[in-house]
């Protein structure tokens, strides 16, 4: 990813925020070991302001789609409050193994972080943090299903864990999917975000087209090319 390529992935821009189409496989910030990350390229997203934007929330390294950035400190504070109060509507598309038990539903399962010498993962625990995800079935293919998911809380790996707990792990999930390790990328995409950023205006709604590695599976589940398109409103 080059700075120019990242700038070309801007889906929405105004004086307070940007929404970019995050590519799958690139972490949003550098870990302890360093390495390529999105934050290192944010200087290309100043668009005339004195400082680069900063993350208003996070997406997993292998998740693609709508990522919100605040363009300055006051904007980040305002965006942070919206996310904390649960006023930001987030919609994910996932392709999962198997088929869910109904056409739609709600998963209300608290989660906690389990850390071991071999690493960490999120696990179901009634004593953990509240985690709620609404979902609906959008289509099915040969042994797979296309789900639209709306997390009502923002726990780490929430959508991935909840799909696995439903018996439908997301394709390509190396942590919550069945062994052996998958040979395809994670099929999870942050499809849309809706933010009531300005009190006297309509909420800002932005969508991101699914990444190339998900298109065949989504098409097999009934997604048309016209519906896959993206834009901002």
pLDDT digits (tens, 9 = 90+) for 144-177: 999 999 999 999 999 999 999 999 999 999 999 9
Asked whether the predicted pLDDT for residue 41 surpasses 50, the reply is yes
| % of the chain beyond a pLDDT of 90 | 88
pLDDT tens digits along 65-74: 999 999 999 9
Residues classed as catalytic? 60
Answer yes or no: is pLDDT of 233 > 80: no
Residue 162 has which token pair?
A: 């909840």
User: In this structure, which topology does domain 3-228 adopt according to CATH?
Assistant: Pseudouridine synthase (3.30.2350)
| Residue 160, both tokens | 């991935």
Q: What is the pLDDT of residue 230?
A: 53
**pLDDT for 229:** 79
User: Whole-angstrom Cα distance, residue 21 to residue 199?
Assistant: 25
Tell me the CA distances in angstroms from 28 to 67, 121, 138, 186, one per residue in order.
9, 19, 29, 16
Amino acid 213: pLDDT: 96
Sign (positive/negative) of CA torsion 212, 58, 95, 89? Answer: negative
Residue 224 burial class via C-beta count within 10 angstroms: exposed 0-12, middle 13-18, buried 19 and up: exposed
> What tokens appear for 35 in the block?
């390495």
Task: Note the pLDDT of residue 113.
Answer: 96
Domain spans, the chain: 3-228
Q: What is the mean pLDDT of residues 123-146?
A: 97
Reduce the DSSP state of residue 21 to 3 states and report it. strand
**pLDDT (mean) for 36-53:** 96
Mean pLDDT of 118-145: 96
3-state SS class at 70? strand
Mean pLDDT, the chain, whole residue set? 94
Distance from C-alpha of 142 to C-alpha of 44, rounded to nearest angstrom: 42
- Rounded CA-CA distance 47/16 in Å is 12
pLDDT in tens, 185-195: 999 999 999 99
Are the C-beta atoms of residues 94 and 214 closer than 8 Å to each other? no
Look up the pTM and report it: 0.94
- Mean pLDDT across 59-70: 97
Residue 232: pLDDT over 50: no
Q: What is the mean pLDDT of residues 81-103?
A: 96
């Amino acid at each position: 990813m080059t700075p120019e390529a990242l700038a070309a992935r801007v889906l929405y821009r105004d004086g307070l925020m940007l929404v970019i189409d995050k590519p799958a496989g690139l972490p949003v910030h550098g870990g302890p070991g360093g390495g390529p990350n999105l934050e290192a390229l944010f200087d290309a997203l100043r668009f005339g302001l004195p400082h680069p934007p900063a993350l208003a929330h996070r997406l997993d390294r292998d998740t693609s789609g709508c990522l919100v950035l605040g363009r300055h400190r006051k904007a980040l504070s305002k965006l942070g409050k919206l996310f904390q109060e649960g006023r930001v509507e987030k919609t994910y598309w996932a392709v999962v193994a198997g088929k869910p038990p109904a056409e739609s539903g709600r998963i209300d399962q608290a989660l906690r972080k389990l850390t071991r010498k071999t690493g960490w993962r999120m696990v179901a625990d009634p004593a953990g943090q509240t985690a709620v995800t609404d979902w609906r079935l959008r289509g099915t293919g040969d042994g797979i299903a296309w789900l639209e998911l709306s997390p009502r809380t923002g726990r780490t790996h929430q959508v991935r864990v909840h799909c696995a707990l439903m018996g439908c792990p997301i394709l390509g999930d190396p942590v919550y999917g069945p062994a052996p390790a998958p040979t395809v990328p994670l099929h999870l995409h942050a499809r849309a975000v809706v933010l009531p950023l300005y009190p006297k205006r309509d909420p800002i709604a932005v969508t991101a087209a699914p990444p190339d590695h998900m298109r065949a599976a989504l098409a097999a589940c009934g997604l048309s090319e016209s519906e896959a398109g993206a834009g901002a409103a």
